[in-house]
Structure 1
Amino acid sequence: MGTWDIGHFDNDTAADFAGRLDRAAPDERAGLVRAALERANRSSGHLDDDEGAQAVAAAALVAAQCPGGGAVTTAYGPEEPIGPLPVELRPLAVGALDRAMAEESELVALWDEAGAGELWRERIRALREILAPAEPTAAVTPPGV
């Protein structure tokens, strides 16, 4: 995988995925995002770097439409609007990110070999937090207060 930075679209596979989204008809784009997420979720055992990179890019697009999500503004991301993505893609995106960070993921091995594994994991965890924010814990009032 040709990679030039740590961003979700900063590799050949994700940039090619963005190009496919741009060439697709507007009503087909959500289906392409869904397919990338489903491929990662369906895989068992080894997840190859291409499937993982596409899943991470697709998850970034889903996260961009969540509360607290930032727009995908990289020059390597889609240039055409994706359109509204169904909310039910959020759990698929979380599952795909979990697969991308699993021990069997080739992306993990490649980022670790490059010496940027922990930074990459931090970015993936941040994306995951946007997609599935932790539930706030209820404040407990001590007795007698």
Structure 2
Amino acid sequence: MVAENGEKWRDSEDALTARQRKAIPILVSSTTREAGCDAAKIARSTLSKWLNDPSFVKALENAEARAYCASLARVQRLAGSAAEALEGLLRSEVESIRLRAAVEILTHGLKARDAIEIDERLAALEARLVER
């Protein structure tokens, strides 16, 4: 997204009004479009018009993608601390806490294993398609 679409992002950003550029980060950080409109002090009808503008839509999508990537990076940074917290809970004197921690560790461990397995299988299928 960054290298390949960097120029496209700049092109779409250059086509925006100052008001649109100001509204995008507010819209991205809001929980709903309505809340974003209120916070950005724009009418919902204005946002509806903007959403018919390909340059605005592209700039909004790029901002949303960057925000999502930043959130994922934060989750990755916190994963070690979360695992340590769960590990500590395994030593709790309260049986229900130990059980809940064990279930969470096993559940998420299995999900992670499944995701890795699916990734590997997909990569193998893609490699076979490239060979053809």
Say yes or no: TM over 0.5: no
Higher helix share: 2
Which structure: larger Rg?
2
TM-score by length of 1: 0.28
